[in-house]
């Protein structure tokens, strides 16, 4: 039986020790085999040696694997935190807005003209907008817009001789500035402001039921418009969602403020005494659909 020292705890030392014992044993058995022992005895001792060698190799492999796991730094292979790129968008599209103006003063004048119908609310305002991210300021977006809309009431003149119509008109063209907050991929919340130049108009016109070309003269019909140039200022909030990298929808809410110049009659004479309630001020909401590039 092989005598393995108990102090040999290192597996490499154990294998080296077993190899040395093997060669000594082999020489001894070769000598004994020639004298007193048979080949079967040598085979048994060789089998015992290889069993010990196998156990030592398994122990060495297990110790090596355990050392590797203990030295593994899981912090080094932890996934990196996701970094979201700055907001960027470039595109354009159609908008439909719903304005809620105060019609009190306009409706009062319409009643004087014999109108019994009321101006509709909300007032539908159609428009378009183009915008792009501003590269040198992160998450800032600039754009241009144009919109316009009108609310109309009508009545029949006495004896069904003709018709009359009265219309309230608003519209402007300008620029937009928005700042994007992106809580999750595809969704953006953008507080912003729109500034534009436009007008506020009130138009009244009448016409006979039938007009022939020879009778087409200013005296046969009437059309009168009072209007004022206006600066539009609208703080607003946009909520936008990109279904794909090429399409986006928008919900918008804001309040429209107007700063009016003098009202003029048919663009000529100044109209004085216009009530302050006739303006373009209104609570607004809108829907929009856009195509372009959105991240």
Higher pLDDT, 193 or 80: 193
**pTM of the entire structure?**
0.69
pLDDT at 81: 59
In DSSP notation, 15-54 reads HHHHHHHHHHHHHHHHHHHHHT--HHHHHHHHHHHHHHHH
What is the band of 15 on the pLDDT scale with cuts at 50, 70, 90? low
Domain membership of residue 20 (yes or no) is yes
The reply to whether 171 and 262 lie within a common domain is yes
The reply to whether 31 and 156 lie within a common domain is no
| pLDDT one-digit tens code per residue, 200-233 | 999 999 888 887 787 777 666 788 999 999 999 9
d(CA 59, CA 57) in angstroms, rounded, equals 5
Looking at the structure of the chain, the number of domains it has is 2
The reply to whether 115 and 155 lie within a common domain is yes
pLDDT at 159: 74
> Average of pLDDT values for 135-159?
92
Higher pLDDT, 75 or 125: 125
Q: Phi, psi at residue 137, to the nearest 5°?
A: -130, 115
Domain membership of residue 153 (yes or no) is yes
Higher pLDDT, 5 or 198: 198
- Domain extent, residue 171, equals 89-294
Domain membership of residue 107 (yes or no) is yes
pLDDT at 8: 43
The reply to whether 98 and 57 lie within a common domain is no
d(CA 282, CA 149) in angstroms, rounded, equals 13
Cα–Cα distance list, 278 to 103, 109, 281 (Å)? 8, 11, 9
Q: Per the omega criterion (within 30 degrees of 0), is the bond before 122 cis?
A: yes
> Average of pLDDT values for 139-166?
91
Whichever domain contains 181, its CATH number is: 2.40.160
The reply to whether 59 and 178 lie within a common domain is no
């Amino acid at each position: 039986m092989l005598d393995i020292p108990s102090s040999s705890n290192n597996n490499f030392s154990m294998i080296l020790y077993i190899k040395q014992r093997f060669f000594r044993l082999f020489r001894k058995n070769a000598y004994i085999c020639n004298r007193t022992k048979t080949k079967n005895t040598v085979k048994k001792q060789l089998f015992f040696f290889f069993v010990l060698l196998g156990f030592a190799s398994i122990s060495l492999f297990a110790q090596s694997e355990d050392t590797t796991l203990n030295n593994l730094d899981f912090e080094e292979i932890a996934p990196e935190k996701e970094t979201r790129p700055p907001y960027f968008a470039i595109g354009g599209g159609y908008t439909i807005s719903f304005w809620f103006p105060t019609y009190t003063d306009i409706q009062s004048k319409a009643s004087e003209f014999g109108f019994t119908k009321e101006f509709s609310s909300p007032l539908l305002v159609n428009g378009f907008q183009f915008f792009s991210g501003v590269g040198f300021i992160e998450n800032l977006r600039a754009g241009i817009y144009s919109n316009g809309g009108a609310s109309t009431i009508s009545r029949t003149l006495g004896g069904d001789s003709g018709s009359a119509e009265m219309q309230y008109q608003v519209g402007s063209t300008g620029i937009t500035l928005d700042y994007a907050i992106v809580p999750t991929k595809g969704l953006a919340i953008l507080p912003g402001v729109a500034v534009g130049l436009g007008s506020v108009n009130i138009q009244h016109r009448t016409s006979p039921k039938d007009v022939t070309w020879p009778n087409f003269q200013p005296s046969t019909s009437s059309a009168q418009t009072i209007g004022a140039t206006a600066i539009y200022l609208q703080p607003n909030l946009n909520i936008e969602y990109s279904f794909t990298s090429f399409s986006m929808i928008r919900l918008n809410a804001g309040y429209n403020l107007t700063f009016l110049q003098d009202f003029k009659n048919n663009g000529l004479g100044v109209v004085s005494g216009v009530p302050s309630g006739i303006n373009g001020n209104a609570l607004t909401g809108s829907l929009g659909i856009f195509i372009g590039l959105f991240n």
